[in-house]
Structure 1
């Protein structure tokens, strides 16, 4: 065993081993090979970790040779970072544009939201028209009979799926002023129940004398259906939709949504959520 092997085995390395005359790396011409061989021998001598840590702290990127991708991980000092980070920060600083970018982003988002709403309305309208055409092709099996709620009522004779169109509320289309005069006339003639359904501020559908069996649908505070106004061929229609699945023999009901008035109309729906009055 020679002296070098004895020193390595005992963990002792004489200072003269690291002197230039003992440095085998002086024979290497390639800088990258020099670095790899130097690290390998230092690791063999047990000095690789401590020397590498020292070099990582003291050596900068400009002092290292070879390709950057061939170098190992090393810590960049704060002093070196300070030479270029402030410049990048100045280049990427957009604080002055925040207000303008935010306003532009809001406008873009608003346009997208409006476009999405229009698309959703179109899809829903197309779906309503499709269901309306299906209802015209095949009407639901319904019958009217005495109701425990009030006088006559409308009952399902078949299973009706939720969100399905049940029936159209059909009647004579009149203006609001005409509807007010007719309501007074019906009262003077002894017609206790009038079937006036408001479509909008100017249009009312009167099913008192000209209408379908949809006029027999009673009010309920917890209804199984809802009334909806749709547009078909530029004409507004009133249709009754099922809120949930309706089984045969079940009475069809919806919320009349009468406006609040001083003279109250008692509600006899008998549901757990009954508000006791229709208005």
Structure 2
């Protein structure tokens, strides 16, 4: 090995090693590693055969199997899958009311279809915004209650989920899940959904004196949304 004039290799920075010196060093290290270990009585001990590591693809497939066996019904796992592989959906004119959301691929039962995205606001802010939206002429309400304190407002800041229409016999349902200590609303499929089938869920509006007519057309239609 090279002699260091300062006594410290780090202080001398980068320097080039001659190829002959490099070959000598590699040969000496190879010979040292190939020598079998010797016990205290001078007898050679046979080297242990190293267990070959499995291919990376095999390890990854095993991890997937473990995840599916332990957390196949986990909402968190399904939510992560939904983030990386969104369902193919589109919005267009609906026979129920105005715009609607339609599937562009078959969706199996009990699958996450889409997250209801918007601004998280308090009840006081929601009341103020409802009055302002009425003054602005915005007829539809895109507010979704998460719990007693939190409401998601998707009126001006949302995604395709706000176009989902109500139905008294829906093919989806809404569920509140917790991801990283934050509550989220996700639309799940109740049953298999075919291509070009409209995605619907029950709004479950509170009962009020001023009724909102329901136009879902289902056989068991309640007649009103509230």
TM bracket, shorter-chain basis = 0.5 to 0.7
2:112 corresponds to 1:159: no
Q: Which of these two proteins has the greater Rg computed from alpha carbons? A: 1
Partner Cα separation in structure 1 for residue 131 and residue 140 of structure 2: 12
Q: How does 1:219-258 map to 2 (within 5 A)?
A: 219-258=166-205
Give the TM-score taking structure 2 as reference length: 0.68
Query: Residue in 1 aligned with 2:92?
Result: 145
Partner Cα separation in structure 2 for residue 221 and residue 124 of structure 1: 32
Which secondary structure state, in structure 1, belongs to the residue aligned with residue 74 of structure 2? helix
Query: Residue in 2 aligned with 1:209?
Result: 156
Cα RMSD for the two superposed structures: 1.4
Partner Cα separation in structure 2 for residue 125 and residue 249 of structure 1: 28
Partner Cα separation in structure 1 for residue 77 and residue 131 of structure 2: 38
**Unaligned segments of structure 2, at least 5 residues:** 1-69
2:70 corresponds to 1:132: no
Equivalenced residues, count: 157
Offset of residue 233 of structure 1? 0.2
Write the deviation string for residues 166-203 of structure 1: whole angstroms up to 9, x where unpaired: 00000011111100110111001100112000001110
**Unaligned segments of structure 1, at least 5 residues:** 1-122
Partner Cα separation in structure 1 for residue 164 and residue 205 of structure 2: 15
After superposing on structure 2, the runs of 4+ consecutive aligned residues of structure 1 that deviate more than 3 Å are 123-126
Give the TM-score taking structure 1 as reference length: 0.55
Which secondary structure state, in structure 1, belongs to the residue aligned with residue 78 of structure 2? helix
Partner Cα separation in structure 2 for residue 139 and residue 125 of structure 1: 18
Maintained 8 Å contact 2:116/2:159: yes
Partner Cα separation in structure 1 for residue 183 and residue 111 of structure 2: 19
2:146 corresponds to 1:199: yes
Q: Which has the higher contact order (CA 8 A, sep 6+)?
A: 2
> Which of 194, 208, 218 is the aligned partner of 1:261?
208
